[in-house]
Amino acid sequence: MARSTTSNVASLVVVRHGESEWNVLGKWQGRADTQLTESGRAQARDAAEHISRNAFAFERVVASSLRRAHDTAAIIAEHLGLAAPVLDDRLVETDVGPWEGLREHEIEKAWPNYLRDRRTPPDFEPPEEVFARATTALRELAQSRARVLVVSHSGVIRTVRRRLNVHDRRLRNLEGCSFGLDAESRLVAGDYVTLVAKSRPVTNDAV
Write out the catalytic residue numbers. Answer: 17, 93
Burial of 166 (0-12, 13-18, 19+ CB in 10 A): middle
Rounded Cα distance between 194 and 15, Å, is 8
Cα distance between residue 206 and residue 118, in whole Å: 9
DSSP strands (E only) in 22-157:
60-63, 86-87, 148-152
- Select from 207, 151, 141, 198 the least CA-distant residue to 172: 198
CB 127 within 8 A of CB 162: yes
Give the type of residue at 58.
Answer: F
CA-wise closest residue to 140 among 187, 73, 85, 92 = 187
What's the CA gap between 122 and 127, in Å, rounded? Answer: 13
- The burial class, CB within 10 Å (0-12 / 13-18 / 19+), for 116 is exposed
